[in-house]
Amino acid sequence: MRRPELLIPASSLEVLKIAVIYGADAVYIGGEAFGLRAKAKNFSMEEIREGIAFAHAHDVKVYITANILAHNGDLDGVREYFAELREIKPDALIIADPAIYELAKEICPEIERHISTQANNTNYGTYNFWWKQGAKRVVSARELSLKEIKEIREHIPEEMEIESFIHGAMCISYSGRCLLSNFFTGRDANQGACTHPCRWKYSIVEETRPGEYMPVYENERGTYIFNSKDLCMIGHIPEMIDAGIDSFKIEGRMKTALYVATVARTYRLAIDDYLKEPKLYEANMPWYLEQISNCTYRQFTTGFYFGKPTEKTQIYDNNTYVKGYTYLGIIGEEKDGMYRIEQRNKFSVGESIEIMKPNGENIEVTVKRIVDEEGQEQESAPHPKQVLYVDLGHEAEQYDILRRREE
Q: What is the mean pLDDT of the chain?
A: 86
Q: What local confidence, expressed as pLDDT, does residue 196 receive?
A: 67
Q: What local confidence, expressed as pLDDT, does residue 262 receive?
A: 95
Q: What local confidence, expressed as pLDDT, does residue 322 receive?
A: 58
pLDDT digits (tens, 9 = 90+) for 41-70: 578 999 999 999 999 999 999 999 998 888
CATH number at residue 29: 3.20.20.70
pLDDT digits (tens, 9 = 90+) for 358-367: 999 999 999 9
Q: How many domains does the chain have?
A: 2
Q: What local confidence, expressed as pLDDT, does residue 40 receive?
A: 44
Q: DSSP labels for 176-236?
A: T---HHHHHHS--GGGT----GGGS---B--TTSTT--B-----SS----S--PEEE-GGG
Contact 248, 271 (CB under 8 A): yes
Reported in sequence order, the residue ranges of 225-379 that DSSP labels E, i.e. its strands, are: 230-232, 247-250, 300-301, 325-330, 334-335, 338-342, 352-356, 362-366, 369-372, 377-378
pTM, two decimal places: 0.85
The verdict on 12 and 93 lying in the same domain is yes
- Is residue 206 predicted with pLDDT exceeding 60? yes
The verdict on 251 and 298 lying in the same domain is yes
Is 340 part of any domain? yes
In degrees and rounded to multiples of 5, residue 238 shows phi and psi of -60, -40
In degrees and rounded to multiples of 5, residue 45 shows phi and psi of -60, -40
The verdict on 168 and 138 lying in the same domain is yes
Is 104 part of any domain? yes
Q: What local confidence, expressed as pLDDT, does residue 125 receive?
A: 98
Q: Domain residues for 48?
A: 5-177+221-314
Is 107 part of any domain? yes
Between 286 and 195, the higher pLDDT residue: 286
Q: What local confidence, expressed as pLDDT, does residue 386 receive?
A: 94
Is 208 part of any domain? no
- Is residue 141 predicted with pLDDT exceeding 80? yes
Which H helix or E strand runs over 159? none
The verdict on 167 and 303 lying in the same domain is yes
The verdict on 24 and 153 lying in the same domain is yes
The verdict on 53 and 121 lying in the same domain is yes
Q: What local confidence, expressed as pLDDT, does residue 249 receive?
A: 97
- 47-56, 82-91, 140-149, 227-236: least confidently modelled range: 227-236
Whole-angstrom distance, CA of residue 255 vs CA of residue 40: 9
Q: Which range has the top average pLDDT, 24-38, 106-120, 224-238?
A: 106-120
